[in-house]
Structure 1
Amino acid sequence: MPEPTGTSGMPIHVLGRSGLRVSEFCLGAMTFGTDWGFGADEETSRAIYREFREAGGNFVDTANNYTNGASEEILGRLVAGERDSVVLSTKYTLCTDPDDPNSGGNHRKSLRRSIESSLRRLGTDYIDLLWVHAWDRFTPVDETLRALDDLVRSGKVLAIGVTNMPAWVVARSAAIAELRGWASFCALQVEYSLVSRTPERELLPMAQAHDLALCAWSPLARGLLARELSGEQEARLPSVVRRARDTAREVAGELGTTPARVAIAWVRSRGLLPSIGARTVEQLRDNIGALAVELDDDHLTRLDEATRIRLGYPHDFLDGLYERRTLPPPAAPRETTTPPVSARLRT
């Protein structure tokens, strides 16, 4: 495996089969802009972005609907002076105009409208990575894939990824793209944290089988694993969230760090690239500090056991067959010429 790297202390990874080199942390820009009644103004967003870049980050992520388009506009101004040094990603699918049913969805009309608007707001003529933001049950996946392939061939988009989509749809999309010679997804973004672990059932194994880079959004469970809560708020939390918070705080106390850093370090230990968002420079600095957190086997075991989920059928059934030797044990993962998402490069 290639050795650890980092231009300014942050490891660099190959993003699936795209060949793109991205920083281990992705800066999520959903908080850029205050149009939703929360978030960071442009001056604060600029400070957050600069802090991320100085830490060695080069991977930034937004969406066409974040803060009603203000996120893309702000981010476009921030990257303008160093566009080619940044891996810029955005998304399309979700509705941007409640009065226009075609302003959302994964069909060609929605995609064309979205990409042209995103390019204009971002002030660029190409997007490094375009995510399909969610599954559209009403648009056949082959129509979406063909439209995305056209964008890649045109040069307006360099690579494509997918998020918020069932594993079987992603796997089917991969098969269609391979069969027809179209551009295929290189990365999968999932909600994943100590609190949200259901992707372990199907999405994570599927992504590994198809050589998709794995990215985690909301690694702090929408802030619940980071911020302080009142006693009343704590009491109303689901038991799994309380267990995660308690265990992260215990481990943080032993390591002399923060629960947020422990939670993000745990996501890193699972082989996913965390997407970190912040409303202040201090929050971002705390999140980036997870790079220095080393969880030993005991820490990892305690964190895992605090929120472990049952994989359910058919996994539990198959495990029973392996134990009774009705089936041979699973083969070791096949080797591939493409470095896994956790591979680190020397740059």
Structure 2
Amino acid sequence: MQYKLLGRSGLKVSELCLGTMGFGTEGGWGADQETSFAIMDKFTEAGGNFIDTANIYKLGTSEKIIGDYISNHDRDYFVVATKYTLKDNATNPNASGNNRKNMMRSVEQSLKRLKTDFIDVLYLHIWDDITPIDEVLRGLDDLIKQGKVNYAAISDTPAWVVAKGNTLAEPMGWSQFIALQVEYSLIQRTPERELIPMAKHFGMTVTPWAPLAGGALTGKYLRGEQGRVKAESNRRNENSERITREVMTIAEELNCTPAHVALKWMMQQNFSCIPIVGATKVDQLQDNLRTIDVTLSTDQLKRLDNASNISLGFPGDFFKEEAVRTNSFGGFYDKVEKR
């Protein structure tokens, strides 16, 4: 396992992040504690140290399982990321949302479930579209000053909100967001319109959820296997099936699984990207871990890009027009270094 720096920080995290939304059996699916422990054993044996959870995952059971595990191991080895925002109870209107009151309450509960004194990375989970971003940043910075959180991050939030937050944080001396968690995969590339360019500008690491599009990119639905993704989903339509077939073709060329190809495409992008790989079975994790030994050629990357390419809309596609490039660069576009 290789290690990457998380955003502009000096925090070293494994090149794959272990997603634990399935730790717990609430809702009739998921891994029990014994299986979850076995998954974490395999992850750490491979050199993994980056674990992703949230206050609401399996009604808090995910955090409890992780807490039981790390309390019997070297706590400082692990980089534990959790999230606040979503309700863990419905007792009052401030038991959810991005507001400071919910942030402080949620963090205290997460610390208890995780059996730890600090959270390495705290994400705002989903933007509520009502809380001022300065309220969020000041609250996160206070938690960092208190030693309860080490780093701030954000998930599922419009690019302009994140950009405003990091821009405001700099002159105020507040901690900036170092990571951005969004849905991103070969089937879901819309973050390339605004979110990923913004993350690159601020030096944020992108930590995609659903990097395999709910399993669609493994090819299991094309093989007639069952899963939780509904047939009418955009993960299983004609376009996604066409993309998946290209993934499967390249997997055959490399003698690896389609999951390896889909994950490695993401890891070989020209920005910092650490996929979150979820697992409810040990063999699922073991297969995902083999991704680190796969390398896609320039031609294979191009084929995947062409198969999954999306319209960037305005102004992204406008900037790519030859006339615009000629006028903006005076004919020197191909000779100028790009950021």
Write out the 4+ residue segments of structure 1 that deviate beyond 4 Å after TM superposition: 230-236, 321-324
Residue 306 (structure 1) aligns with? 307
The change in CA–CA distance for 1:31 and 1:231 in structure 2 (over 3 A counts) is closer
Classify the secondary structure of the residue corresponding to 1:276.
Answer: strand
Residue 244 (structure 2) aligns with? 245
Structure 1 counterpart of 2:62, from 67, 71, 95: 71
2-side partners of 1:96 and 1:332: how far apart?
48
1:151 counterpart = 2:143: yes
1:327 counterpart = 2:318: no
Q: Report if aligned partners of 2:219, 2:245 keep a CA contact under 8 Å in 1.
A: no
The letter for the 1-side match of 2:213 is: A
The change in CA–CA distance for 1:142 and 1:303 in structure 2 (over 3 A counts) is same
Q: Report if aligned partners of 2:83, 2:125 keep a CA contact under 8 Å in 1.
A: yes
The letter for the 2-side match of 1:160 is: A
Residue 293 (structure 2) aligns with? 292
The letter for the 2-side match of 1:133 is: H
Residue 57 (structure 1) aligns with? 48
Structure 1 counterpart of 2:133, from 136, 141, 147: 141
Q: Report if aligned partners of 1:145, 1:182 keep a CA contact under 8 Å in 2.
A: yes
Kindly report which structure 2 residues correspond to 1:174-213, keeping only aligned pairs within 5 A, or say none: 174-213=166-205
The Cα shift of 1:240 comes to: 2.1
The Cα shift of 1:100 comes to: 2.7
Q: Provide the alpha-carbon RMSD of the alignment.
A: 1.8
Residue 316 (structure 2) aligns with? 315
Residue 8 (structure 2) aligns with? 17
2-side partners of 1:167 and 1:201: how far apart?
10
Residue 117 (structure 1) aligns with? 109
1:219 counterpart = 2:222: no
TM-score, normalised to structure 2, is 0.92
1-side partners of 2:325 and 2:53: how far apart?
48
The change in CA–CA distance for 1:293 and 1:186 in structure 2 (over 3 A counts) is same
The Cα shift of 1:221 comes to: 0.5
2-side partners of 1:288 and 1:119: how far apart?
29
2-side partners of 1:188 and 1:213: how far apart?
6
Structure 2 counterpart of 1:160, from 147, 152, 169: 152
Q: Report if aligned partners of 1:95, 1:101 keep a CA contact under 8 Å in 2.
A: no
TM-score, normalised to structure 1, is 0.90
The Cα shift of 1:92 comes to: 0.4
Please give the per-residue CA displacement for 1:121-165, whole angstroms capped at 9, x wherever unaligned. Answer: 000000111011111211111111111110011110010101100
2-side partners of 1:232 and 1:52: how far apart?
26
2-side partners of 1:275 and 1:231: how far apart?
25
The change in CA–CA distance for 1:324 and 1:227 in structure 2 (over 3 A counts) is closer
The letter for the 1-side match of 2:48 is: G
Uncovered stretches (5+) of structure 2, i.e. residues with no partner: none
Please give the per-residue CA displacement for 1:251-272, whole angstroms capped at 9, x wherever unaligned. Answer: 1111111111111111111141
The letter for the 2-side match of 1:311 is: L
2-side partners of 1:226 and 1:316: how far apart?
30
Structure with more contact order per residue of length (Cα contacts < 8 Å, sep ≥ 6): 1
Residue 267 (structure 2) aligns with? 268
Kindly report which structure 2 residues correspond to 1:73-88, keeping only aligned pairs within 5 A, or say none: 73-80=64-71, 81-88=73-80
Aligned residues: 325
